[in-house]
């Protein structure tokens, strides 16, 4: 399937790459690695995403070239790290008009919605899969360079929790070892995306963690990011990422849940992190979401306490 994808990309005269809404390091790293590799081959390629790129990710090579839509009909459109068409947001219109579509992803809940589907639910990240694709492309025409390697490594580091999640395998470390042979300053990537934190986010983190609530003999921990927290700390929903891990890291906590207020009243974004003994994707699936065994997400509407109680019910059913 990888060989078919590579041949299709080489023969296409115009290509589009789509990252999922509210983009994280993996969708950006995989999309921009592919974008830069194809640019190295002088291909006519564009990148799309409905959402704005977070400030800390805005300096990734090619991030400034993202578009939200196009009237152009591309020969080929490739979705990166998108488990279903809903994750493309408004950019699904670009996808739907393509002559040929491809779907590269590592979510086990992926719906295989494209003409070419390269989905490996056992991979730590889409960037891990993208390495194999670009390595194969590089054997046909040289396209791999330091920029591509840095983007892939960034996505792998951010989506694997610094290579600490259970879906990290021997192959994950093998790919990482090949990437750090390039001039990418791996330690600085880890410092920036795993450790560095703004003062405002530090205040948000402390404020929210101080209000954490625990249930089921402390096996379940829940934090709530409300609008007042964002206003008091000068932050936004974009700066909540990673804070949930502070709950999951507590000894004895098997399930960590973050409930985040969105711009719409009584509408919440839910993030779930679990120990290996609990399926996060199954909990999220109750609300129409999905993800991985130990990391998943969904959306929910209603009053906060009602949403919290429903999440607890779904969690108890999976403990």
Same-domain status, 314 and 262: yes
Average pLDDT, the chain: 95
What DSSP character marks residue 290?
E
Same-domain status, 84 and 163: yes
**Cα 183 versus chain centre, distance:** 24
Domain boundary among 195, 214, 239: 195
pLDDT band at 247 (very low <50, low <70, confident <90, very high): very high
Percent of the chain with pLDDT over 70: 100
pLDDT over 90 at 276, yes or no: no
Other beta carbons less than 10 A from residue 287's beta carbon: 20
**Domain span including residue 140:** 2-195
Average pLDDT over residues 196-214: 96
Same-domain status, 289 and 161: no
Same-domain status, 137 and 205: no
Average pLDDT over residues 57-73: 95
pLDDT over 90 at 97, yes or no: yes
Query: What CATH number is attached to the domain comprising 232?
Result: 3.10.310.30
Same-domain status, 44 and 177: yes
pLDDT band at 109 (very low <50, low <70, confident <90, very high): confident
Q: Which residues pair with 48 in a beta bridge?
A: 18, 67
Contact call for residues 25 and 154 (beta carbons, < 8 A): yes
Average pLDDT over residues 99-106: 98
Q: Where are the beta strands (DSSP E) in 153-196?
A: none
pLDDT band at 291 (very low <50, low <70, confident <90, very high): confident
Q: Which of 27-31, 193-197, 212-216 has the lowest mean pLDDT?
A: 193-197
Same-domain status, 176 and 258: no
Average pLDDT over residues 178-206: 95
Q: Which of 5-19, 133-147, 289-303 has the lowest mean pLDDT?
A: 289-303
pLDDT over 90 at 147, yes or no: yes
- Residue 8's nearest CA partner among 65, 70, 74, 76 is 76
Contact call for residues 272 and 256 (beta carbons, < 8 A): yes
Domain boundary among 167, 195, 223: 195
Same-domain status, 98 and 185: yes
Same-domain status, 260 and 217: yes
Sequence-separated (6 or more) residues with CB below 8 Å from residue 272: 255, 256, 257, 258, 280, 283, 284, 291, 295, 296, 297, 298
- Residue 95's nearest CA partner among 208, 19, 12, 202 is 19
Percent of the chain with pLDDT over 90: 90
* Structural domains in the chain (count): 2
Same-domain status, 163 and 227: no
Same-domain status, 111 and 232: no
pLDDT over 90 at 198, yes or no: yes
Q: Look at 164 and 80; give whichever has higher pLDDT.
A: 80
What pLDDT score was predicted for residue 292?
Answer: 84
What pLDDT score was predicted for residue 34?
Answer: 98
Q: Are strands 220-225 and 213-215 parallel, antiparallel or unpaired?
A: antiparallel
Same-domain status, 278 and 184: no
pLDDT over 90 at 18, yes or no: yes
Query: What CATH number is attached to the domain comprising 38?
Result: 3.90.1640.10
Domain boundary among 155, 170, 195: 195
Same-domain status, 227 and 309: yes
pLDDT band at 293 (very low <50, low <70, confident <90, very high): confident
Average pLDDT over residues 130-137: 98
What pLDDT score was predicted for residue 165?
Answer: 87
What pLDDT score was predicted for residue 57?
Answer: 94
**Whole-prediction pTM:** 0.89
What pLDDT score was predicted for residue 258?
Answer: 98
What pLDDT score was predicted for residue 310?
Answer: 96
Q: Look at 175 and 238; give whichever has higher pLDDT.
A: 175
């Amino acid at each position: 399937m990888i060989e078919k994808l590579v041949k299709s990309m080489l023969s296409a005269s115009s290509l589009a790459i789509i990252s999922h809404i509210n983009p994280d390091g993996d969708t950006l790293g995989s999309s921009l690695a592919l974008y830069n590799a194809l640019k190295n081959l002088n291909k006519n390629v564009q990148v799309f995403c409905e959402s704005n790129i977070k400030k800390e990710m805005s300096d990734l090579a090619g991030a400034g070239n993202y578009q939200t839509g196009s009237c152009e009909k591309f020969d080929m459109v490739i979705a990166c790290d998108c488990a279903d068409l809903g994750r493309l947001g408004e950019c699904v219109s670009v996808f739907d008009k393509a002559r040929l579509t491809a779907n590269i992803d590592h979510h086990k809940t992926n719906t295989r919605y494209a003409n070419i589907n390269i989905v490996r639910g056992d991979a730590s990240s889409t960037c891990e899969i993208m390495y194999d694709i670009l390595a194969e492309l590089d054997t046909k025409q040289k396209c791999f360079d330091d920029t591509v390697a840095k983007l892939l490594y960034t996505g792998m580091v951010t989506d694997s929790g610094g290579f600490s999640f259970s879906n990290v395998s021997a192959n994950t470390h093998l790919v990482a070892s090949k990437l750090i042979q390039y001039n990418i300053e791996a330690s600085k990537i880890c410092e920036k995306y795993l450790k560095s934190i703004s003062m405002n986010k530090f205040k948000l983190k402390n404020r929210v963690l101080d209000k954490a609530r625990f249930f089921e003999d402390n096996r379940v921990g829940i934090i709530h990011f409300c609008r007042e927290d964002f206003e008091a700390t000068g932050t936004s929903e974009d700066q909540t990422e990673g804070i949930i891990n502070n709950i999951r890291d507590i000894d004895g906590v098997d399930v960590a849940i973050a409930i985040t207020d969105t711009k719409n009243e009584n509408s919440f974004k839910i993030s779930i992190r679990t120990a290996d003994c609990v399926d996060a994707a199954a909990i999220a699936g109750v609300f129409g979401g999905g993800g991985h065994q130990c990391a998943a997400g969904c959306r929910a509407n209603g009053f906060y306490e009602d949403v919290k109680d429903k999440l607890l019910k779904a969690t108890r059913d999976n403990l």
